[in-house]
């Protein structure tokens, strides 16, 4: 099977950058287009009184948006340097797994490459796993890079 469009979700973790490195190699080898995405979730403010935290929510989203845009711009340069056609996309207000799957569908990606801590057992149960959710819900192949 050959791939034409790779989606790479990134966040501030070193694990997502391990996935970026693998995506760079694969995209260059297969001459793929790449979309790099970052999801800004609402998680920190679920269940709190909106009127008491409205300024904090505004600050959170402004800072998160700025961080995501900087991270995407920086990551995009790695692909540009290697002559790879690359786009970026920020998704806001939904869960990371839902956002990743949504972007994959929106851009017509046929492969998702993402990082994972590789947690198992009790740690996975408590911490949850975006990679696990994407892996089980995605209609397209998902390559998990374990670090």
Q: Take residue 5 and report the two structure tokens written for it.
A: 């469009």
The tens digit of pLDDT for each residue in 103-118 reads 999 999 999 999 987 6
Q: How many helices (H) and strands (E) does the chain have?
A: 5, 5
Phi, psi (rounded to 5 degrees) for 107 = -95, -5
SS3 (DSSP) at 111: strand
Model pLDDT, residue 103 = 97
DSSP 47: T
Collapse the DSSP code of 100 into the 3-class scheme (helix H, G, I; strand E, B; otherwise coil) and give the result. Answer: helix
Task: Give the separation between CA 110 and CA 122, rounded to whole angstroms.
Answer: 32
- Number of structural domains, the chain? 1
CA distance 77 to 72: 9
Rounded to the nearest 5°, which phi and psi values hold at 87?
-130, 165
Asked if pLDDT for residue 3 goes beyond 80, the answer is yes
Residues β-bridged to residue 116? 146
Whole-structure pTM value? 0.84
CATH number of the domain to which 37 belongs: 3.40.50.620
pLDDT for 32-84, tens place per residue?
Answer: 999 999 998 765 544 555 555 566 666 777 788 889 999 999 999 999 999 99
Asked if 103 contacts 37 with a C-beta cutoff of 8 angstroms, the reply is yes
Token digits of residue 64? 């998160």
pLDDT for the residue 121: 56
DSSP tag of 127: H
Domain of residue 18, residue span: 5-146
Residue 127's pLDDT is what? 41
Q: What are the pLDDT digits (tens) for 111-137?
A: 999 998 765 655 554 444 888 899 999
């Amino acid at each position: 099977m050959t791939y034409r469009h790779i989606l790479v979700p990134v966040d501030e973790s070193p694990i997502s950058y391990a996935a970026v490195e693998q995506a760079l190699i694969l995209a260059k080898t297969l001459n793929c287009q790449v979309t790099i995405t970052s999801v800004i979730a609402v998680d920190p403010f679920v269940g709190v009184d909106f009127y008491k935290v409205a300024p904090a929510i505004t600050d959170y989203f402004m800072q998160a948006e700025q961080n995501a845009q900087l991270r995407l711009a920086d990551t995009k340069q790695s692909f540009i340097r290697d002559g790879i056609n690359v786009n970026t996309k920020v998704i806001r207000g939904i869960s990371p797994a839902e956002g990743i799957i949504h972007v994959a569908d929106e851009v017509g990606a046929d492969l998702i490459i993402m990082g994972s801590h590789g947690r198992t057992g009790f740690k996975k149960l408590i911490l949850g796993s975006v990679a696990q959710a994407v892996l089980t819900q995605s209609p397209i192949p998902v390559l998990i890079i374990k670090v």
